[in-house]
Amino acid sequence: MSDMTAFTPIQSLLGGALIGLSAVLLMAFHGRIAGMTGILAGLLPGQEGRGWRLAFLAGAVLAPLLATTLGGIEIPFSSQTPLPWIVVSGLAVGIGTTFGGGCTSGHGICGNARLSRRSILATLIFMLAAGLTVYAIRHGIGGA
Partner 1 sequence: MAVPLAFLIGLVFGTGIMISGMANPAKVLNFFDIAGTWDPSLAFVMGGALTVALIGYRIVLRRPRPVLDTCFHLPTRRDIDPALIGGSALFGVGWGIAGFCPGGSIPALGLLRPQAAVFVCAMLAGMAIARRLRARRAAPRPRLS
Q: What residues contact 141, with CB distance under 8 A and at least 6 apart?
A: none
- Residue 94 amino acid letter: G
What are the C-alpha distances in Å from 103 to residues 14, 38, 71, 76, 77? 21, 9, 30, 23, 21
Sign of CA dihedral 55, 88, 141, 76: negative
The nearest distance, CB 120 to partner 1, in angstroms, is 10
